[in-house]
Amino acid sequence: MRRHFRNASIIDASGAAPFRGTVTVEGERIAAVTAAPVETAAAPGDEVIDCTGLTLLPGLTEAHCHISFNNLTSIYNAVEQQPEDHALAALANAQLLLKRGWTSLFSAASAKPRLDVAVRDAINKGLFEGPRIRAAGQEITPTGNLGDLDTNYMEIPRTLRFSVACDGADNFMKAARLAARDGVDTIKVNVSGDRDWGHMHADDTVTVITERELEAVMQVADARKLIVATHCSSSAGVKMCVRQGVQVIFHAPHADAEARDMLESVKDKVFVVPAAGFPIAMFRRHDEFRLGWSAEKLASLETEIGIFTDCMRDLHKRGVRVLPGGDYGAFITSPQGENARDLEIFVELFGFTPMEVIVAATRHGADLMQLGGQTGQIQAGFLADLVILDGDPLADIRIFQDPDKIVGVLKGGVFAKREASLSRASGPMRKTA
């Protein structure tokens, strides 16, 4: 049985303007794409879905996703949650994101070693509905850096932490090999801390990992064809990442002119994901969540937002692939499911047109997932990962934030969400399920 999505406004993510036409889905793939007035003939038993007034585009990729972060108020929430409960909550988050149009999730770390892996595998085996997932393990971090929660008096068991603290190349190599043994797709390394974060502080120059430590992780990853993704705020850290061939750099706010030149020189290989939703939500929603933060802290956050806005605008102009995805779930101010706020941020602050951010979240997102040429565009032969919107995202990118406007989501040709309005098929070929 084929499904014909007729008379949709099609955004194919090639970057071309939308066109009216029909997308035909057969099995898990797009069988045909035709521009009106041409229509693929519907055979008996086919389903024809009238998409007049609707926009059809490829499914989105969340490029900095933590399905195991459950809208934390403290990072210790993630430690306290027991693994059985934690795995189920992570699965629920993955399913929520799928229904919001995120058909692919690129993980930026798992709160315990195998949460991402278990959810990915259960979905791939068909045990549960869910999005495509590139799984990560815990963050691998130098002692005392972002993610190291231990003190002299309290050591948290290794498997309950969202990070593994390491020192020296051998130690980093061991942690990377353990992650590989667990079945991850992506090895996450914390190359620097963050601005204004006490002993995990990072500015233009501070990088807390050594080049040999990062190189050791790269060796493990390269030998197994795994991706390395880094938490990296400092300029020196960005340069080290480019030198070492890191494929995905998260944050990168302080990249100076030389670091940006280096990123531009590898723009066909590297992805930058600012994870902007996280600090922006903290800044804009602190009152709503009664956080009681000091004026000094808020001023610092505002400064940080200005710094990464400048950097991302520049990287985008230089043609570096900057992708949306914003640490949703890592703090209560940016809960899971509100991920599409990032799309608005890219338009509002980073100089993207709505079409450019859609291409970033779809075609470039598929490249990030290592599924380029397989999904992320509306083309015959591609996987039918589709989103159907009741409205025009080019007129208002915020449409993705309204679940009621997301009337259909398909992953691999199977509906993950289907509003009643999508059943308004007409004509003699209508078939009800």
Residues that bind Zn ion (CB under 5 A): 108, 327
Nearest partner of 402 among 385, 419, 386, judged by Cα: 419
SS (H, E, C) 103-160: EEEEECCCCCCCHHHHHHHHHHCCCCCCCEEECEEEEEEECCCCCCCCCCCCCCCHHH
Minimum Å gap between C-beta 230 and Zn ion is 11
Nearest partner of 6 among 337, 416, 353, 426, judged by Cα: 426
Minimum Å gap between C-beta 58 and Zn ion is 24
Extract the tokens encoding 44. 């008996």
Region of 198 please: left (phi>0), alpha (psi -120 to 50) or beta: left
Burial of 196 (0-12, 13-18, 19+ CB in 10 A): middle
Give every CB contact of residue 433 below 8 A, 6+ residues apart in sequence: 47
- Name the residue nearer to Zn ion (CB basis): 78 or 175: 78
Minimum Å gap between C-beta 11 and Zn ion is 28
Minimum Å gap between C-beta 340 and Zn ion is 17
- Name the residue nearer to Zn ion (CB basis): 13 or 255: 255
- Name the residue nearer to Zn ion (CB basis): 108 or 383: 108
Minimum Å gap between C-beta 282 and Zn ion is 13
- DSSP annotation of 383: B
- Name the residue nearer to Zn ion (CB basis): 50 or 327: 327
- Name the residue nearer to Zn ion (CB basis): 209 or 386: 209
Minimum Å gap between C-beta 238 and Zn ion is 16
Minimum Å gap between C-beta 139 and Zn ion is 8
d(CA 33, CA 174) in angstroms, rounded, equals 48
Q: Are 396 and 47 in contact (CB under 8 A)?
A: no
Extract the tokens encoding 43. 């055979």
Nearest partner of 347 among 337, 359, 336, judged by Cα: 359
d(CA 163, CA 215) in angstroms, rounded, equals 19
Q: Are 304 and 253 in contact (CB under 8 A)?
A: yes
Minimum Å gap between C-beta 69 and Zn ion is 8
Residue showing tokens 């120059």: 205
- Name the residue nearer to Zn ion (CB basis): 5 or 250: 250
Minimum Å gap between C-beta 166 and Zn ion is 18
Decide: helix, strand or coil at residue 343.
Answer: helix
Please name the amino acid found at residue 87: A
- Name the residue nearer to Zn ion (CB basis): 46 or 327: 327
What does residue 383 show for φ and ψ, rounded to 5 degrees? -60, 140
- Name the residue nearer to Zn ion (CB basis): 327 or 385: 327
Burial of 71 (0-12, 13-18, 19+ CB in 10 A): middle
- Name the residue nearer to Zn ion (CB basis): 8 or 111: 111
